Structure 1
Amino acid sequence: MAVKRGRGVAAVNYPTGMNLGGDPTQALVHATPTGHFVLSMSSVDVGQGMKSILAQIAAETLGVPTDHVWVDTADTDTGPHCTGTFASRGTHRAGNAVIAAAREARQVLLEVAADKLEVSADDLVTDGQGMIHIKGAPAKAISIAEAAGAAQFEYGRTVAGRGIFLVDRSFPDPVTGKMKPATCYTHACTIAEVEVDTDTGEVTVLDLKNVFEIGRALNPAMVKQQLVGGNHMGVAHALYETTEPYYPDRAHGGRDFNEYVLPGPGDVVPAEFVVLERPASDGPFGGKGPGEMCANPQIPAIANAIFDAIGVRIDEMPMTPERVLRAILAAEGA
């Protein structure tokens, strides 16, 4: 048996969201009489933690603890419009919409509080813990819960806000075709080290080193979780998972998830992660988000490592032992 070792590198430059059509997302925020806030969105959380991030963004803007914000994404028919949860756009597009909506709602609270404290609304700040106080005089304060209650029961005002984020349209230059397809980009680089058994075609990934630039990490723990999960998905796409076409015909395909080939706990690859924070000028608090990119660079890095090991390029996914062995035999003229 001959086992050869190789190393490969791959870099990714990934756009955030889309350009055509403005790529809009809307948000609605309103206060309850208890000083809690309901954030209504159609930006669906598909497991990446979007609801937590949007609650953080709303709370930071409103000046309340995060657990004072309830995120409602119950129905895309009745909720405010969102283009969708795809194109790595969730944090950037929805986050900006949430900031706009929360600022509008916060302004109503400041105006009510200003009347109660007999000062100008411009002289007030929120402390992030649910209080509104005069700048430089924390003792002269009113709670957001009290201001919300007064707005609704004394002043007849609705503490609510509407927000939308829309991307300026970029048209291609008629001569060069140059345009701006996205407002910001995330970046990643992966180095993979593999062993290839030239008798069986089996590939073993020994190590993955990943560097991700994602803007500001609004929730570092969730960023790490998404990168770890994405890394495992990248390995799965590279070596295990397949949809269509099955070889040699569809009858050979898995009929359910019991037959669908996935890496198990014993196939988890040792991996390292480095997060670089370079805040986006147009992102919510500088955020862009890992998005789909977290599962991308591992695939070409593994392919390049296989090439480095055996000198044969595999250009089909997944890079199964059969495909690797066929490529080796073809290169040898068998």
Structure 2
Amino acid sequence: MAVKRGRGVAAVNYPTGMNLGGDPTQALVHSTPTGSFMVTLSSVDLGQGLKQIMAQICAETIGVPTESVTVDTADTDTGPHCMGTFASRGTHRAGNAVIQAAREARQVMLEVAAEELEVNASDLDTDGSGNIHVKGAPSRSISIFDTALAAHFKHGRSISGRGMFLVPRSYPETETGAMKPSTCYAHACTVAEVEVDEETGEVVVLSVKNVFEIGRALNPKMVEQQLVGGSWMGISHALYETTEPYYPDRHHGARDYNEYLMPGPGDLAETEIAVLERPSGDGPFGAKGPGEMCANPQIPAVANAIFDAVGVRVDTLPITPERVLRALKQRDAGAAA
């Protein structure tokens, strides 16, 4: 018996959203009388940072500081329609809808500013810090604060916009069944290094190296945090987490995170993340959806590493010490025969 070391590789591609039924998402953007902006969505922030990214997208499109934008995802009864937060579609679908709505709101804002400055709206631009000025003449300017006041109390204009992103439906070809189920794909590759104890069946993940191609990282630090967290989650799926044999019967099942088996800080592997940016032609500022994909390739990479170490395939998750030992016994029995 010995501790064996192995290395496994896995690569995946992951679709952003769906295309079988249009996959629509709507967004509304409006200005308050004091020049801050509100984005209204029915896309839900699950902790992945959707509100921050939508605020950045709206601010970049209108030309205001990100802190001037508030994102409301409070109520699907009163908010604009959204298919949902799933299929790694939030940034791509909602982001495109926000861009449309923000462009419409920006145009109204520039039209009001043009009336105040007595110029054409096409001659105006924003400086990104809260002002609108004549192109080539920064001294001729008006603040967005004053523009919003003028719109609400002088011109009777609503600085607002509506946006909707709808993917044209892809119908299967009659002859071949070929279709286009998604508009863009993100990609990932993981290399995992493990140690396997042939006497106990215990698997220790020593290191995980991940490369993700996600279009464009709109907030690089948030992307890094999501990818690192997803990598740890993938290891947890591979070696620890399960609802068996209790699901769907909850009797004697785990009642809290003290009883539900997950890796602790001491079980987490050395993790490296590399991000490749190949902007998507139809993504908001080139972004795709890295969401669910970030926890996918680690699972087959760990399984392949175990095979490289001890020559057995375990195709049932999680890969527990018991399953590893059973596979080793079958291997040895086959060798003896």
TM-score (norm 1): 0.97
Map 1:82-101; keep pairs closer than 5 Å: 82-101=82-101
2:71 — aligned with what? 71
Off by >6 Å, runs of 4+ in structure 1: none
Q: 1:164–1:68: structure 2 CA closer, same or farther, 3 Å change rule?
A: same
Letter in 1 for 2:133: H
Letter in 2 for 1:113: A
1:169 — aligned with what? 169
Map 1:143-292; keep pairs closer than 5 Å: 143-246=143-246, 253-292=253-292
| Separation in structure 2 between the aligned mates of residue 263 and residue 89 of structure 1, nearest angstrom | 28
| Separation in structure 2 between the aligned mates of residue 300 and residue 190 of structure 1, nearest angstrom | 9
Deviations 1:74-93, CA, capped at 9 Å, x for gaps: 11111111111110000000
Shift of 1:289: 3.0
Shift of 1:215: 0.6
Shift of 1:37: 0.6
| Separation in structure 1 between the aligned mates of residue 315 and residue 251 of structure 2, nearest angstrom | 24
> What percent of counterpart residues are identical?
74
| Separation in structure 1 between the aligned mates of residue 181 and residue 127 of structure 2, nearest angstrom | 38
Shift of 1:267: 1.0
Q: 1:203–1:126: structure 2 CA closer, same or farther, 3 Å change rule?
A: same
Residue 7 of structure 2 contacts residue 306 of structure 2 at CA under 8 Å; is this kept in 1? yes
Shift of 1:246: 4.8
2:35 — aligned with what? 35
1:300 — aligned with what? 300
Letter in 2 for 1:164: M
Residue 315 of structure 2 is aligned to residue 315 of structure 1 = yes
Shift of 1:257: 2.5
Structure 2, unaligned runs of 5 or more: none
Structure 1 stretch displaced more, 289-298 or 87-96:
289-298
Residue 127 of structure 2 is aligned to residue 127 of structure 1 = yes
Deviations 1:222-251, CA, capped at 9 Å, x for gaps: 00000111011000000000124459x975
TM-score (norm 2): 0.96
Shift of 1:253: 3.3
Structure 1 stretch displaced more, 206-215 or 237-246:
237-246
Task: Count the aligned residue pairs.
Answer: 333
Structure 1, unaligned runs of 5 or more: none
Deviations 1:175-216, CA, capped at 9 Å, x for gaps: 211111100000000001111001111001111110000011
Shift of 1:60: 0.4
Residue 205 of structure 2 contacts residue 268 of structure 2 at CA under 8 Å; is this kept in 1? no
Residue 217 of structure 1 contacts residue 289 of structure 1 at CA under 8 Å; is this kept in 2? no
Shift of 1:254: 2.0
Deviations 1:46-82, CA, capped at 9 Å, x for gaps: 0100000000000001110000001111111111111
What CA RMSD, in Å, does the superposition of the two structures yield over aligned residues? 1.4
Deviations 1:93-148, CA, capped at 9 Å, x for gaps: 00000000011111111001111111111111111111111111111111111111
Tell me, what secondary structure is at the counterpart of 1:227? helix
Q: 1:250–1:326: structure 2 CA closer, same or farther, 3 Å change rule?
A: farther
Deviations 1:267-295, CA, capped at 9 Å, x for gaps: 11101110000111100011113110001
Tell me, what secondary structure is at the counterpart of 1:319? coil
